[in-house]
Chains A and B, each alone.
Chain A
Amino acid sequence: MIKTCLCVGALALACQFETFAEPRIVSAGGAITETIFALGAGKTLVAVDSAGALQPEAKGLPVIGYSRDLSAEGVLSMNPSLILLNHDAGPPAVVDQLKESGIPLRQFSSVDSAESAIRRIRDIGEAVDRQREAEALVAGIERSLAKIEKRVRSEDARPRVLFIYTRGGGTMNVSGRKTAADAMIALAGGANAVSGYDGYKPLTSEGVVNAAPDVILIPSRGLEQSGGIDELLRQPGLALTPAGRARKVIAMDDVLLLSFGPRFAEAALQLNEQLFPPAKR
């Protein structure tokens, strides 16, 4: 029975352009998938990539694999009417194959700032025909950003934030410039404690001491798996920093913090509130 259904589905590829049918969207990109759900268009999704599958609402949807390692036939087997791809979806040969299939396809450019994140939400809204919902979402984002701006304006100091990326398992990487973490720290009114390099580098004890962070920011899962704040501060060097002495560690969900998805402003506001706690004023 299922086989027959799939067979009929495959044959229906030909009907892709007919508008009366329900849209069938394949989305490769965590933030794109989250945005589609946030816009109330989750029912149009027929498959997601492995990052999108982390969304609780995406449970049960077929997974087309890691977005940089897609399979053309796998995507086409979902009989999509629209394919939405992250900027880094690949490999290029597979993206070419998908473009040649004639199925409408849209690839979004990379997002690393509030402006580009808002632009992507509007673009996705247009692609899935939820423009009004997208505008409402953007309005909420702009309200959060305004709140942050107001609080940051009333403060003189920019706390120095050290972002440690770890999901447990021993390796700890520290964010330099040009990362999503760097952009979020700036958005929340902090200053990245590390500016000597781009991207992520393994944590070194002396480097950490030199960076002299006021606050340590870490993914919540990473903090749990490192054994909590006490264990984390036992990492060489961390205890010697102002953040270590004051035990100022902020844990946040890494997907929320780093994806620049529909809730990025909410994440920035959360971080902002923790960077500038009311008690301090």
Chain B
Amino acid sequence: MSPGPFRPSAVLAFAVLSALLLATAVCSMGLGAVRIAPGDILRSLLAPETLPPESRVSIDMVLWQLRIPRVLMGLLVGATLAVAGALMQGMFRNPLADPGLIGVSGGAALGAVTIIVFSTTLFAGQPWLADLRLLPLAAFAGALAITLLIQGLARTDGYTDVATLLLAGVAVNAIVGAVIGLSVFLASDAQMRTLSFWTLGSLGGASWKTFGLMAPLCLALLLAAPFFSAALNAIALGEAEAGHLGFSVERVKGILIYLTAAGVGACVAFTGMIGFIGLVTPHLIRLWLGPDHCRLLPASALLGATLLIASDTLARNIAAPAELPIGVITAAFGGPFFLVMLLSQRRRTYPE
């Protein structure tokens, strides 16, 4: 590996990103519909036995059962979405690529809509199954199945053609969209509202249990990703060139697709669809630190986690005691911010 990633400026950048993430996470733990004094949070973290017993119940419940799992889940989901976005953009050599392209989001939506619209009919005899409890499982299964289908379609004689993968993705996503549209036609008003909230995402279901369920899949993606930096840097030159440089491009593509399907599938299963983070975070990092994947991947993870935790903090607090869907925040603040970065970059590159 080149000494590039640890040039002084990169060290500084990583220090800034880490500090930003830590500060955002701490703020997020302190802010919410239930006011908890900062002092009480510190005491609960460091010396819980010194808390007065009457506040212990609320702090235990709200801080430890609701907020901390939620912040940790935001960290994991934000990092996973951003890294997956960077991996897909690198693999497709396309700045518009995101996990949705290989069918992860469409497949998850297909699983989710099936459960939302048909679970009362499918599990008429088992009311405990009929109340959306199978939604995460169905969404995850849908994400994996559709991704594998698209990859299978683009594969001939052990070679996955990226252009075919991209176009097969577009086609299969259109078919999935048709099935979702049909389900919407059959859905009741209430089911449609549930579905539209799901497509805007929320970390509201965060608990230690859901965190534990998704963590292994997200961590697999996050920990494995850096090992593909060199290969992705080579693929940026072209797949044939990467092959000549000694990378087994087919294996890299296969592993990256499986990792992304599993990691992002797990995120979408528990949080619904959260847009923007996966697409734009890598671009923000590239504008700042350049396209080298050795830096891009870990920096995207840090920034993605920060952005998602910050968005979730806003979503929880703006409309308290109600909650805004997080997708509204990520798009409303992320879109314009990204545009400004993009335009100022262009002005620097092409001065008038």
Contact = CB atoms under 8 A, between A and B. Distances in A.
Interface of A: 3, 6-7, 10-15, 47, 50, 62-66, 68-78, 88, 90-94, 96-97, 100-102, 199-200
Query: What are the 9 tightest A-B residue pairs by CB atom distance, in nearest-first order?
Result: A65-B322, A93-B205, A74-B321, A77-B33, A71-B323, A13-B58, A14-B54, A77-B34, A14-B57
Given A15-B54, A92-B132, 12 more contacts: A3-B35, A12-B54, A14-B53, A63-B321, A65-B319, A69-B194, A71-B204, A71-B323, A72-B66, A73-B32, A74-B320, A92-B133
9 contacts: A10-B34, A11-B58, A65-B322, A66-B197, A69-B202, A73-B33, A90-B194, A91-B194, A102-B61
Contacts of A200: 188-189
Contacts of A7: 35, 37
Contacts of B321: 47, 62-65, 71, 73-75, 77-78
A91 B132 contact: yes
A95 B34 CA distance: 17
A13 B57 contact: yes
Nearest to A50: B322
B131 interface: yes
Contacts of A69: 193-194, 197, 202, 204, 323, 325
Nearest to A77: B33
Interface residues of B, number: 40
B190 interface: yes
Given A69-B323, A77-B320, A97 B65 contact: yes
B207 interface: yes
B233 interface: no
A93 B204 CA distance: 8
B253 interface: no
A190 B86 CA distance: 61
Contact of A76 (B33, B132, B206): B33
A209 B4 CA distance: 74
Interface in B171-222: 186, 188-190, 193-194, 197, 202, 204-207, 210
Contacts of A47: 321
Given A68-B190, A73-B33, A101-B61, A96 B207 contact: yes
Contacts of A97: 65-66, 207
B36 interface: yes
A14 B322 contact: no
A73 B62 contact: yes
A63 B35 CA distance: 17
B55 interface: yes
Which of A63, A91, A94 is the most central at the interface, judged by chain B CB atoms within 10 Å of its CB?
A91
A95 B204 CA distance: 11
Nearest to B132: A92
Contact of B316 (A6, A15, A50, A71): A71
Contact of A14 (B58, B202, B204, B207): B58
A76 B64 CA distance: 14
Nearest to A198: B188
B293 interface: no
A258 to B, nearest CB: 11
A7 to B, nearest CB: 5
Contacts of B197: 66, 68-69
Contact of A88 (B54, B56, B190): B190
Interface string B29-54: 00011111100000000000000011
Interface string B254-294: 00000000000000000000000000000000000000000
B67 interface: yes
Contacts of B61: 13, 76, 100-102
Contacts of A10: 34-36, 55, 58, 62
B51 to A, nearest CB: 10
Nearest to B194: A68
A12 B325 CA distance: 29
A100 B32 contact: no
A88 B203 CA distance: 19
Contacts of A68: 190, 193-194, 197
A88 B190 CA distance: 9
Contacts of A13: 57-58, 61
B316 A73 contact: yes
Which of B66, B186, B325 is the most central at the interface, judged by chain A CB atoms within 10 Å of its CB?
B66
A135 B322 CA distance: 34
Nearest to A95: B131
Contacts of B35: 3, 6-7, 10, 77
A92 B57 contact: no
A11 B54 contact: yes
A7 B55 CA distance: 10
B137 to A, nearest CB: 13
A169 to B, nearest CB: 14
B33 A66 contact: no
B205 A94 contact: yes
Interface in B311-352: 316, 319-323, 325
A201 to B, nearest CB: 8
Which of B190, B210, B325 is the most central at the interface, judged by chain A CB atoms within 10 Å of its CB?
B190
A7 B323 CA distance: 20
B204 A91 contact: yes
B3 to A, nearest CB: 46
B118 to A, nearest CB: 12
A97 B319 CA distance: 20
Which of B35, B36, B53, B188 is the most central at the interface, judged by chain A CB atoms within 10 Å of its CB?
B35
Contacts of B55: 10-11, 14
Contact of B34 (A65, A66, A76, A96): A76
Contacts of B193: 66, 68-69
